[in-house]
Amino acid sequence: MLNTNLKHLNPATLSLLDQLRPWKVNQCRKSFPFLLLLSAPVFATSTDSRQFVEMPPEARATLRAEMLENQLALHLIISALAENRFAEAGDIVEKEMGISTMGKHRKLPQNARPGRFMPNEMHAIGRGSHVAASDFAKLANEAGPNDLPKLLAALQNVTGACIACHRGYRTR
């Protein structure tokens, strides 16, 4: 394991995380404090115009854990695409972000389910991201050796949903 503070992630995500090269993680850790220092004045003076979505800390923690898992999944998908492992990219996106993952929080206590607290538009973006992920997965699983441009275009629909939500909403 790269970090014992990641116990809240599901076993499949932890397994994928183990595949990351430690030197890349260490390289990011070394440069992050410097980048944070450079950006501090920007954070201090900017105003956040995103819509605030109020939710209990438990729901916010669930949502954050899911976003961190999605971030890792996107990294692994891009890595698989870079190595022409299209079917693997499709399997990852479906397993981690696709329609098959919708409703995964239904067994959690009510106050830990983020979807209950999202405005309709935010929820629609989330549902759209799951659909875009499954569409990408289907395309990736059927892709041939020359289909990388088509796959990258389809992946933009997934990341576009991420961008739309993160630029439009905040929970803190």
pLDDT number for residue 48: 87
141: confidence class by pLDDT, cuts 50, 70, 90: very high
Q: Are 35 and 84 in a shared domain? A: no
Mean pLDDT of the chain: 82
How far from 13 is each of 32, 69, 79, 169, CA to CA, in Å? 23, 7, 15, 25
Number of structural domains, the chain?
A: 2
Q: Are 9 and 80 in a shared domain? A: no
Q: Are 91 and 114 in a shared domain? A: yes
Looking at the chain, how many residues does it have? 172
Contact in structure between 119 and 51 (CB atoms under 8 Å): yes
* pTM of the full structure: 0.72
39-80 confidence digits (pLDDT tens): 455 454 468 899 999 999 999 999 999 999 999 999 999 999
Specify the DSSP element, H or E, that contains 13: helix 11-18
Q: Are 109 and 157 in a shared domain? A: yes
Q: Are 34 and 71 in a shared domain? A: no
Provide the domain limits for residue 157.
50-170
97-132 confidence digits (pLDDT tens): 999 999 899 999 999 999 999 999 999 999 999 999
Task: Report the SS3 class of residue 31.
Answer: helix
Q: Are 143 and 97 in a shared domain? A: yes
Q: Are 60 and 7 in a shared domain? A: no
pLDDT number for residue 18: 54
Q: Are 120 and 143 in a shared domain? A: yes
| CATH for 151 | 1.20.120
Question: Residue 52: phi, psi to the nearest 5?
Answer: -80, 130
